[in-house]
A and B are shown apart, each in its own frame.
Chain A
Amino acid sequence: DAGVTQSPTHLIKTRGQQVTLRCSPKSGHDTVSWYQQALGQGPQFIFQYYEEEERQRGNFPDRFSGHQFPNYSSELNVNALLLGDSALYLCASSTGTGQETQYFGPGTRLLVL
Chain B
Amino acid sequence: AQKVTQAQTEISVVEKEDVTLDCVYETRDTTYYLFWYKQPPSGELVFLIRRNSFDEQNEISGRYSWNFQKSTSSFNFTITASQVVDSAVYFCALSEAEQAGTALIFGKGTTLSVSS
- Residues from chain A with a CB closer than 8 A to the CB of B46 are 104
What residue in chain B is nearest A99 (Cβ atoms)?
B33
Contact A48 B44 (CB under 8 A): no
B64 within 8 A of A: no
A62 within 8 A of B: no
The digit string for B35-76, where 1 denotes a CB below 8 A from any CB of A, is 101000011111100100000000000000000000000000
Of B37, B47, B97, B101, which is within 8 A of A56 by CB?
A: B101
Complex Cα gap A35–B102 (Å): 12
- Residues from chain B with a CB closer than 8 A to the CB of A56 are 99-103
The digit string for A87-108, where 1 denotes a CB below 8 A from any CB of B, is 0101010100001111111110
Complex Cα gap A39–B99 (Å): 28
Contact A48 B101 (CB under 8 A): yes
Chain A min CB distance to B53 (Å): 10
Contact B106 A43 (CB under 8 A): yes
What residue in chain A is nearest B45 (Cβ atoms)?
A104
Contact B101 A55 (CB under 8 A): yes
Interface centre among A42, A43, A50, A100 (most CB of B within 10 A): A42
The digit string for B85-116, where 1 denotes a CB below 8 A from any CB of A, is 00000010101010111111111110000000
A16 within 8 A of B: no
Contact B95 A99 (CB under 8 A): yes
Those 6 A-B pairs whose CB atoms lie nearest each other, nearest first: A56-B101, A42-B106, A104-B45, A45-B103, A48-B101, A55-B101
User: Which A positions have Cβ atoms within 8 angstroms of B?
Assistant: 31, 33, 35, 40-45, 48, 50, 55-56, 58, 88, 90, 92, 94, 99-107, 109
